[in-house]
Structure 1
Amino acid sequence: MPHVVTVFLRHGGRVLLARRSEAVGTYQGRWAAISGYVEGDLADAERDVRRELAEEIGVHESDADLVRAGEHVSVADGGREWTVHPFLFDARNRDIDPNEELAAVEWVHPTAIRERETVPGLWTAYRRVAPAVETVAADETHGSAWISLRALEVLRDTAAEADSRDAVASVARRLRDVRPSMAAVENRVNRVMADADPEPESVRRRAETAIDTAAEADDAAAARAAELIRERGFDRLATLSRSGTVLAALEAVAAAEADVFVVLVSESRPGGEGVGVAESLAREGLDATLTTDAALPGFVAGGGADAVLLGADSVLASGGVVNKVGSLPVALAAARADAPVFAVCARDKVCGDDRFVGEDAGALYDGEAAIGTENPLFEVVPADLLSGVVTEDGVLDADEIGAVAAEHAALAAWDD
């Protein structure tokens, strides 16, 4: 039985579908993901994936990151049988160069698979790598903007398959509550459910719109932050953890000013996601320096940064920012050095109130002594240590944050 790889390339909540041309031997004219035969060891199927991405659409290793490999799918059709090995990759952009095997390509919501004439088993293969409530809950690498998009994808895909609003609402409640420190997850799920009609199809359509809107908002917030950096003339910045919005802002500035732009990044324990940030910045040509979480406040207090950029897992109604542990010491150090501190995020991260429910990174001690442990993942940076919260609408002050908070609090009424 032949083995094939099927690659779902995702960007901003949409995936790339390709219509097979007359140059291929099977399923001409059908829609598919990027696919090809496994030519070597099944344990090294990612090599075949990378080959197909490069050959069929010109996407190379530096252009896309592996998200997950899914359980294989056995397909039988018209007397033929084969085994499909699905993969999901995140593309850095939507720039592709299709070869002669592809008659057309489109970036679509994966639910379009259910409406088109596709190769057999394509929806099943997608569901093997699609995000789930459990993956949203367990992600300790990405920032809340990224995770909230995955939550919306779960809601969209659930609604596409559901036969009742109750089934969709049950998943929506789980998504809303699974990351209590991340306001964007709750707000974006609540908005879909509040705006949709009772039927699952309405939820699906609303979720698709919300995914596109959220991706645009995150990009716009990054663009606003990049403008602020350029306008203020900051050329030595410090950051920590992995905020996709902060990273996009820094990369945007780097594209124009890499020769004078320096970024100090802490490693961000225990996940080490700051290492990936430093690597991404270095690939963009920035002078990126990686340091420890403990050392970053000292560098900032000593004048090592013109400004500090923080991500935000949430913005409290009173203006404080919830972010990765280590943010508060850096903000205090910046105050000592008279360096401004800006949080960068979409306005959907504003909470409807001042609740802060932390998450724990796990035990610090497994010995026999009676020692309690505290190992929080997040902490609050008070509003008086912040110079502003940069969103897609510009820099919000305390009154504006309060107004947004009231809007978001009202969204929860769908579940009353």
Structure 2
Amino acid sequence: MDVARVGEPVEGDADRDDTDRDEADTGRRIHPVLVDVETCDGTDASKWEWIAPPSLRSRSAVPWLWAAYDAVRPTVETVTADTTYGSTTLSVRALEVLRDEAALASDASRGDADAADGEQAEATAAERVRAVAREVRAARPAMTAVTNRVNRAVAAAEDASDGFAATVADAAHEGIERASEADETAAANAADALPGDRIATLSRSGTVLAAIEVAAPAAVLVAESRPGGEGVGVAEALADGVDVTLTTDAAFPAELARWDADALLVGADTVLPDGSVRNKAGTYPAAAVAAREGIPMLVVTATDKISPDADVEREAWPGDPLYEDEAAVDVANPTFDVTPAACVDALVTEQGVLDPGDVAAIGADHRARAAWTNE
């Protein structure tokens, strides 16, 4: 169990919605804590179900539960600042932000019973939701999954008969479930496609981790993956039951052959229309050496990471970790690089292995869903 966020204390006598108020709980102080835990099946309970957090506002629940969640729920700011997780997780966080804000906007629009004012309230709610969608897209412009998944949720509401905000909230929630299913299927497909039992990888991809767990190779080689060094955490996560070797980024390409890797398996932050792959810095040199040494490179990713256009957003870390003294030295500390399609032996997704035509067609679908941004 990992602590994700700790919120400011919530006062029990604060001015809260009636759905949160309980006279017996006034005067209490609640300390909100959001934790990441493994999924539990709830078999100890007589009745249970998964629900979207906004529904806490209209259900009978533990007093002040919504107020506590509200203090720790994901925001545009937390999505922007996160340097721990990859684009898959952050795209889900972005959808959670959109879902929660859309649900709140929908609730607010229903508060006006007058028909004329109700129409205006709905229009105001729709504009608020579009503004949040733009903000959350802009939070991580380099992560295509964030953009595509937010676009899908908003596009679903453009011609909806129900309220715009409510439809976006539902579509965002469905998008979260779809993302999980896509990653699970892609990981299983990648596990089936992996040759041999000595697998090399870099950076942190939840889909790659899942594929390795399913494939159960005998040994894994992991690059440290600076900037950020998230490869260390990956090595630790895999160390139970697998022979894991952690190496530096500089040594990783040469180690592929020396270590006798059967395959290089990586994730993707973005797949460009020509099939090239934007991923953590260090992927390209590793892929180039793998190609020279005859080591197959597999990229596992969800189709929502296929970009509708060829533009590449540059995202870089601060220069401080590299150089902090006073000489006139420019520091380049990029987060990502782009690996040409020629270096990729298989692009594995929830739809199976894609060819260039598949990539182009999926990119066109994503482009169509972005039409709302031109309004």
TM-score, length-scaled by structure 1? 0.79
CA distance in 2, matches of 1:103, 1:403: 47
Q: Which residue of 2 aligns with 1:252?
A: 214
Residue 322 of structure 1 pairs with residue 278 of structure 2: yes
Residue 208 of structure 1 pairs with residue 154 of structure 2: no
Residue 150 of structure 1 pairs with residue 107 of structure 2: no
Which residue among 226, 229, 232 is the counterpart of 1:272?
229
8 Å Cα contact 2:270/2:307 also seen in 1? yes
CA distance in 1, matches of 2:285, 2:10: 49
Q: In 2 relative to 1, CA 75–180 (structure 1 residues): closer, same or farther, beyond 3 Å?
A: same
Report the residue type matching 1:191 in the other structure: R
CA distance in 2, matches of 1:96, 1:240: 35
Residue 188 of structure 1 pairs with residue 131 of structure 2: no
CA distance in 2, matches of 1:297, 1:79: 63
Q: Which residue of 1 aligns with 2:324?
A: 366
Which residue among 160, 184, 208 is the counterpart of 1:219?
184
8 Å Cα contact 2:308/2:366 also seen in 1? yes
Residue 69 of structure 1 pairs with residue 27 of structure 2: no
Q: Which moved more, 1:372-381 or 1:362-371?
A: 362-371
Query: Within 5 Å, which residues of 2 pair with 1:149-168?
Result: 149-162=92-105, 163=109, 164-168=125-129
Residue 83 of structure 1 pairs with residue 29 of structure 2: yes
8 Å Cα contact 1:301/1:336 also seen in 2? no
Residue 173 of structure 1 pairs with residue 134 of structure 2: yes
- Report how far residue 96 of structure 1 moved: 4.3
CA distance in 2, matches of 1:381, 1:104: 49
Report the residue type matching 2:327 in the other structure: A
- Unpaired runs of 5+ residues, structure 1, are 1-63, 255-259
TM-score, length-scaled by structure 2? 0.87
Q: Which residue of 2 aligns with 1:405?
A: 363
Cα deviation code 1:252-300 (max 9, x no counterpart): 122xxxxx521101111232211111111123x1111111111111111
Identity of aligned residues (%): 50
8 Å Cα contact 2:54/2:104 also seen in 1? no
Q: How many pairs does the alignment contain?
A: 341
Q: In 2 relative to 1, CA 298–96 (structure 1 residues): closer, same or farther, beyond 3 Å?
A: farther
- Report how far residue 127 of structure 1 moved: 1.3
Q: Which residue of 1 aligns with 2:310?
A: 354
Q: Secondary structure at the match of 1:118?
A: coil
Cα deviation code 1:176-215 (max 9, x no counterpart): 1221221100000001101113621111111111111111
- Report how far residue 396 of structure 1 moved: 0.7
Which residue among 184, 187, 198 is the counterpart of 1:236?
198
CA distance in 2, matches of 1:318, 1:221: 20
CA distance in 1, matches of 2:174, 2:187: 20
Q: Secondary structure at the match of 1:105?
A: coil
Residue 263 of structure 1 pairs with residue 200 of structure 2: no
When the two chains are superposed, the root-mean-square deviation of aligned CA atoms in Å is: 1.5
Q: Which moved more, 1:111-120 or 1:124-133?
A: 111-120
Q: In 2 relative to 1, CA 372–267 (structure 1 residues): closer, same or farther, beyond 3 Å?
A: same
Q: Which moved more, 1:268-277 or 1:186-195?
A: 268-277
Which residue among 100, 113, 116 is the counterpart of 2:59?
116
Report the residue type matching 2:205 in the other structure: S
8 Å Cα contact 1:268/1:274 also seen in 2? yes
Which residue among 283, 289, 293 is the counterpart of 1:333?
289
CA distance in 2, matches of 1:190, 1:307: 34
More strand by share: 1
